[in-house]
Chain A
Amino acid sequence: MELVSRLLGGFFNLFEPLFRAGQRWLGFSRLGWLFVAPNLIVFGLFTFLPIVINFVYATTGGVKLYPFDRPFTGMENFGILFECRDYFDIRTCRKDVFWRAMINTAQFSVIQVTLMVGFSLVTALVLNRKIIGRGFWRGVFFYPVLLSPVVVALIWKWLLQTQGVFNAGLVAAGSTPVNWLTEAHWAFSWTVFVSIWAHMGFYTLILLAGLQAIPKEMYEAAEMDAAPPWRTLTRITLPLLMPNLIVVLVLAMIRAVQIFDEVYVLTGGGPGSATTFIVQFIYQTGFAEQIHLYGLAAAASLVLAIGLMALTIVQLRITKASSAGQRAR
């Protein structure tokens, strides 16, 4: 311990002169830049710059890695993505897998977020009650969140394989085994389930914290007015929980749209393209296919980013409107 505080002290002393000099040079108000600098440098180099490079990729063609070696093609990649003979039939599109991925992602996001937030809410409400060993139960739901996506996917792949324990149960119950991961609708349902299993604990905690922050007086007042439970839920609990709910919904939606790791290991995007989501499409186009179509992958990623931003804005507007509406009532 003594050694640690000595080391820390030493580290601190290293930088002090630097900052004193900075303070004198930059003046007090601009000192903030010095503090923000390391973060900004790393961020600029490894996040912002790649985004800019992505734009360059999206507007060039060919298969070379270095942006400057690539021939400029303007909006050609976007044209390829959006080229369809019949806009109502995906199969006539040139990049039909891209559109399938978009639709899959949209369906997945809506279903998964709704179900997951629903379960998280119910769980948080249950955990909010006077129960024995609340800390333990909280931990139970949170444990899968700590597991890596690869581990999660492997566990479930193991359970769901044709000769795995689920089918054993089915056979024991007298029915026939099901190819869980090679039937399109089952594979899709299982990706929804597995991602809920792996992530709901996190959102449960946020909602639980929100619930516990609601002062008890609110409930006591309601009880004194002999308010029916449904009323208490919708008039008191949910409105007060709204800020946390918004955070949860937005975060969950962002993460749902970006899902990749678990699904890639669990189903590989199969069967066919039933569980191919948009990030996997981008990864496959840019990395996994032998002829790397970096330009197309970059164009697809830009479409995704724009879509995601629009979605988040819409989501925030809707939830703000509904919570404002509720308060007005």
Chain B
Amino acid sequence: MRSALSLFALLALSSAAGAADVRVMCYQDGNECDVTAELAKRFEAQNPGTKVILDVVPYKTIVEQLPVQLAAGQGPDIARVTDLGGLSRYYLDITPNLKDARYWEANFGATLPWLRPTPSDKGIYGFMSQLTMTGPYVNKTLFEQAKVTLPGPKATWDEWIDATKRVARATQTPAAMAWDRSGHRFAGPAISHGAKIFDAKGELMLDDGYRTTVAKFVGWNKDGTMLKEVWAGSGGSTYADSIGEFKNARVVMVLSGSWQINRLQKDIGNAFDWVAVPNPCGPAACTGIPGGAAWVALKTAKSPKEAAMFLDFMAQEANYAEFAGRTNNIPAHAGLAKKGVNYAGATPAARAALTTFGSGVANLAPVAYQFQGYKFNRAIMLPTVTRVTQAIVGEMSVDEAIAKIAADMADAVRQAQK
């Protein structure tokens, strides 16, 4: 009753004031939505009559519920999404409502194509709220306690496995390493081991590089080098990160990504020293996968003009700089990447980590960019998680797992193209 009355009142008020509401669906790894809320207030002050309503939802909602809603024709005006290619058919071109489209092209040009449904499209659909990179974090205190030296920047995965195993044994840590339960994370080491992901026609394929990585990873899980719970603790393709285990010092090293810096800073505090290290090398590369969440305008927007204006506001250099600086994120803004961002609230550890990731961008393999931008990359990422887990727990052999990944992949792509 009360909600109906208040809704009625709201409608009455809003229609009287002629207000436009911009509904924003946001998820945060750290404090991205909180900072956005403050920016939104400033936007509202500058644009009286426009109200920005921020829905802070868990990541799961963005992944599971938003696509179904959009398919049903429902949805917010703006959303912070990670499946850039998969949702691209729902994006709204905001070019007509931007103050200066050339500013956008100049500063976001490198990542705008990730949001375009087809390669020939020239529309502007939003911008990357951050540039992220997958990469490892290491518990330096444990290394010191074990009196093992940290491997250098060009060390291989095998060398890191060896070093962390020695540290784990010396300090009685449950496991040496853990990778986030994600096909996206898995792709980095796979490409480093020589996986080409795409065949000559630009379609997904599983080659020896990928196969080797799967075999090695399953082996490491089975012999206890990797903390089994992270991958084996769930079923299907559910995402699970390893930061929780890292935080509680149950692993020496994790493969996660740069968006976790804020969380690590807050949750670990002074408990131990943690560092980000460059991605370990394989025979082919020493790469991670670039990525990030993007603010996109959606076709379901009820106030498209105001939504475009809000995105334009957030994309301005000063505002973006504030966002990146307060959320400890690497900016996707070309101008800021050159100038540098003032990470005011960052501890020395966080600042060092940001620098490591920032300089790691140069080592990203071209395949990694292609992988991130590919519309159906989920078709290989999700089955990888499901099947590799099954191999780890012994439900099938590594070869069977590879065959199943390939089959699932083909099935999904076929259905998606129908």
Min distance, Cβ A10 to any Cβ of chain B, angstroms: 16
User: Which positions 157-185 of chain A face chain B at CB distance < 8 Å?
Assistant: 162-163, 179, 181-182, 184
Q: Which A-B residue pairs are the 8 nearest by beta carbons?
A: A269-B235, A268-B234, A65-B71, A272-B393, A290-B378, A270-B235, A62-B418, A271-B232
Count, chain A residues at interface, CB 8 A: 38
In the bound complex, what is the Cα–Cα distance between A162 and B230 (angstroms)? 12
User: Which positions 16-74 of chain A face chain B at CB distance < 8 Å?
Assistant: 61-66, 71
B236 A280 Cβ-Cβ under 8 A: yes
B residues near A273, Cβ cutoff 8 Å: 235-236, 390, 395
Partner of A271, one of B72, B379, B389, B412: B389
Q: Is B229 close to A, CB under 8 A?
A: yes
User: Which positions 54-113 of chain B face chain A at CB distance < 8 Å?
Assistant: 63-64, 67-68, 71-72, 83, 86
In the bound complex, what is the Cα–Cα distance between A272 and B64 (angstroms)? 20
Q: Is A248 close to B, CB under 8 A?
A: no
- A contact patch SS: loop
Min distance, Cβ A140 to any Cβ of chain B, angstroms: 32
B86 A292 Cβ-Cβ under 8 A: no
Give me 6 A-to-B residue pairs in the complex whose CB atoms sit less than 8 angstroms apart, sorted by A's number. A270-B232, A270-B234, A272-B232, A273-B390, A273-B395, A280-B236
Q: Is B392 close to A, CB under 8 A?
A: yes
Known A-B contacts A91-B396, A274-B393, A287-B64; the reply to A61 vs B415 at CB < 8 A is yes
Q: Is A293 close to B, CB under 8 A?
A: yes
In the bound complex, what is the Cα–Cα distance between A268 and B392 (angstroms)? 16
A179 B228 Cβ-Cβ under 8 A: yes
Q: Is A124 close to B, CB under 8 A?
A: no
Q: Is B237 close to A, CB under 8 A?
A: yes
A residues near B64, Cβ cutoff 8 Å: 287-288
Min distance, Cβ B185 to any Cβ of chain A, angstroms: 16
A63 B416 Cβ-Cβ under 8 A: yes
In the bound complex, what is the Cα–Cα distance between A292 and B379 (angstroms)? 11
In the bound complex, what is the Cα–Cα distance between A65 and B64 (angstroms)? 14
Closest residue of chain B to A162 (Cβ to Cβ) is B229
Known: A71-B418, A269-B234, A271-B392. 20 other contacts (CB 8 A): A62-B415, A62-B418, A63-B418, A65-B71, A65-B72, A94-B407, A94-B411, A162-B229, A182-B228, A184-B394, A270-B234, A270-B389, A271-B393, A273-B390, A274-B393, A280-B236, A284-B236, A288-B237, A290-B63, A290-B378
B400 A280 Cβ-Cβ under 8 A: no
B68 A65 Cβ-Cβ under 8 A: yes
Min distance, Cβ B235 to any Cβ of chain A, angstroms: 2
Partner of B390, one of A179, A272, A275, A290: A272
B235 A280 Cβ-Cβ under 8 A: yes
B residues near A274, Cβ cutoff 8 Å: 235, 393, 395
A residues with a Cβ closer than 8 A to B are 61-66, 71, 80, 91, 94, 96-97, 100, 162-163, 179, 181-182, 184, 267-276, 280, 284, 287-293
In the bound complex, what is the Cα–Cα distance between A66 and B68 (angstroms)? 11
Known A-B contacts A62-B418, A91-B400, A162-B229; the reply to A268 vs B71 at CB < 8 A is no
**Residue of B72, B378, B394, B418 ringed by the most chain A CB atoms within 10 A:** B418
Q: Is B238 close to A, CB under 8 A?
A: yes
A residues near B378, Cβ cutoff 8 Å: 290-291
A290 B235 Cβ-Cβ under 8 A: no
Q: Is B382 close to A, CB under 8 A?
A: yes
Closest residue of chain A to B381 (Cβ to Cβ) is A290
In the bound complex, what is the Cα–Cα distance between A290 and B407 (angstroms)? 16
In the bound complex, what is the Cα–Cα distance between A184 and B396 (angstroms)? 13
In the bound complex, what is the Cα–Cα distance between A290 and B400 (angstroms)? 23
B386 A97 Cβ-Cβ under 8 A: yes
Min distance, Cβ A61 to any Cβ of chain B, angstroms: 6
**Residue of A184, A287, A288 ringed by the most chain B CB atoms within 10 A:** A288
B415 A182 Cβ-Cβ under 8 A: no
Min distance, Cβ B298 to any Cβ of chain A, angstroms: 15
A61 B418 Cβ-Cβ under 8 A: yes
**Residue of B83, B248, B396 ringed by the most chain A CB atoms within 10 A:** B396
B residues near A96, Cβ cutoff 8 Å: 404
A182 B233 Cβ-Cβ under 8 A: yes
A267 B235 Cβ-Cβ under 8 A: yes
In the bound complex, what is the Cα–Cα distance between A58 and B241 (angstroms)? 35
A residues near B234, Cβ cutoff 8 Å: 267-271
A272 B407 Cβ-Cβ under 8 A: no
A290 B72 Cβ-Cβ under 8 A: no
A291 B379 Cβ-Cβ under 8 A: yes
B386 A182 Cβ-Cβ under 8 A: no
B68 A290 Cβ-Cβ under 8 A: no
Closest residue of chain B to A284 (Cβ to Cβ) is B236
A-contact bits for B213-235, CB 8 A (1 contact / 0 none) = 00000000000000011001111
Min distance, Cβ B360 to any Cβ of chain A, angstroms: 27
**Residue of A179, A182, A284, A287 ringed by the most chain B CB atoms within 10 A:** A182
B236 A276 Cβ-Cβ under 8 A: yes
Closest residue of chain A to B86 (Cβ to Cβ) is A290
In the bound complex, what is the Cα–Cα distance between A261 and B86 (angstroms)? 28
In the bound complex, what is the Cα–Cα distance between A62 and B71 (angstroms)? 13
In the bound complex, what is the Cα–Cα distance between A280 and B71 (angstroms)? 22
User: Which positions 395-414 of chain B face chain A at CB distance < 8 Å?
Assistant: 395-396, 400, 404, 407, 411-412
In the bound complex, what is the Cα–Cα distance between A124 and B229 (angstroms)? 39
In the bound complex, what is the Cα–Cα distance between A268 and B71 (angstroms)? 26
Min distance, Cβ B373 to any Cβ of chain A, angstroms: 16
In the bound complex, what is the Cα–Cα distance between A80 and B408 (angstroms)? 12
In the bound complex, what is the Cα–Cα distance between A179 and B64 (angstroms)? 29
B residues near A61, Cβ cutoff 8 Å: 415, 418
B residues near A63, Cβ cutoff 8 Å: 415-416, 418
Partner of A291, one of B68, B232, B416: B416
In the bound complex, what is the Cα–Cα distance between A80 and B411 (angstroms)? 10
In the bound complex, what is the Cα–Cα distance between A291 and B238 (angstroms)? 14
Partner of A182, one of B68, B232, B236, B412: B232
A residues near B395, Cβ cutoff 8 Å: 100, 272-274
**Residue of B236, B400, B407 ringed by the most chain A CB atoms within 10 A:** B236
A289 B237 Cβ-Cβ under 8 A: yes
In the bound complex, what is the Cα–Cα distance between A19 and B68 (angstroms)? 42
Min distance, Cβ A4 to any Cβ of chain B, angstroms: 15
User: Which positions 295-353 of chain B face chain A at CB distance < 8 Å?
Assistant: none
Known A-B contacts A182-B233, A269-B235; the reply to A291 vs B412 at CB < 8 A is yes
Min distance, Cβ B203 to any Cβ of chain A, angstroms: 15
**Residue of A63, A179, A271 ringed by the most chain B CB atoms within 10 A:** A271
In the bound complex, what is the Cα–Cα distance between A289 and B379 (angstroms)? 9
Min distance, Cβ A14 to any Cβ of chain B, angstroms: 17
In the bound complex, what is the Cα–Cα distance between A71 and B417 (angstroms)? 12
